[in-house]
Amino acid sequence: MEDRQLAIDVNLKDLGANDWLGRIDDLCEDYGFFEQLGREHCAGFLEAGNYLLVTFENIQSIRENNIDAEPRGFAYARHDGWSHLSLFSFKESWFRDHHVYAFFDRLVDDGFFDDFERIVFHGAGGGASYAAAAYSVVAPGATVIALRPQATLDAEMAGWDPRYKYARKKNFNDRYGYAPEMIDGAERVFVAYDPIERLDACHAALFRKPHVTALPCALLGDDLDQAFDRMGIHDVLIKLAMDGALDRSRFLQLLRARRYDPTYVRALVRRLIVTGHPKSARLVCEYMIRRGHKAFFVDKYDELSPTEDI
């Protein structure tokens, strides 16, 4: 397969859900294929080059949060010549559906993944990261990027997590079930999580294999994909993973960009105050004010030093 950059020219912003999906359908049919997978999922494929990015995303989240309301892999097909397989959910489904199982079974039987030199599975929260890990078993040797993954929602194994009650009715004990076991065939797995979010940290700890690299991201909360996008490191993270160059050290270098992210710094200030470090919180506020960030930081600075002016 020869690498080729796809001339994707489509405006997906400000479209209703049906129009958005119709545009995705047309585009994927032009360059690959598009399939409905039962009532809750669909899949689209863009055929470009020898590198394949497999993403799991919720349609509403794509439309509300992604740049230009595009699936995350479109930019790589356009600019880097990567092929892109997108699995879409219409709601937060954790991609637990026999139609999805059958889709991946068919791809394996057809030797679909054998055509690619390198493969990265990517998912971010909301069950998408769980799915990226769980379904990576279909492509031995792939790399997995799982941002804030759940290991399972099975009550017997994860009854300590009271969240996602609506999704616990799904079966997590049949095929592609327990994500930490499904990653055995992957070459490398990167699990990003906020260690301060206790339940997320518990799930992350269940991914214990030797080829798993834990990427703690303190104070970035439960929207790691959006945080990485704000900091401008998400694209670099994915490209390093595809090139086989991502490791903990490189990630920590990228994570230094959080010092310029006001959302992170606000969380840092709150944490410093709660843990009894008001002087450090005041210094951080002073630094952010000098950088031109007035909202929040001026108020907190005044609260921490009511008799002084900056």
Model confidence pLDDT, tens digit, residues 197-244:
999 999 999 999 999 999 999 999 999 999 999 999 999 999 999 999
Q: What is the pLDDT of residue 1?
A: 57
Q: Which domains does the chain have, with CATH numbers?
A: 17-259 (3.40.50), 262-304 (no CATH)
Q: What is the pLDDT of residue 2?
A: 61
- Main-chain phi, psi angles of 177, to 5 degrees: -85, -70
Q: What is the pLDDT of residue 167?
A: 86
Pairing, β 118-124 against β 188-193: unpaired
Q: What is the pLDDT of residue 125?
A: 81
Q: Where do we find the tokens 């078993």?
A: 137
Q: Convert 235-273 to b/e letters by CB count within 10 Å (16 or more is b).
A: bbbbbbbbeeebeeeebeebbebbeebebbbbbbbeebb
Torsion sign over Cα 43, 49, 50, 53: negative
Q: What is the pLDDT of residue 306?
A: 62
- Give the predicted TM-score (pTM) of the model: 0.94
* Alpha carbon distance 24, 258 (integer Å): 33
- Main-chain phi, psi angles of 110, to 5 degrees: -85, -5
Q: What secondary structure letter does DSSP report for 66?
A: S
Which runs of E-coded beta strand occur in the chain? 32-37, 41-46, 51-58, 83-89, 118-124, 143-147, 188-193, 212-216
Cβ–Cβ < 8 Å for 92, 128:
no
Chunked into runs of 10 residues, the chain (310 residues) has average pLDDT values of 75 91 94 96 96 97 92 94 96 94 98 97 92 98 97 93 89 94 97 96 96 97 94 97 97 96 95 95 94 91 70
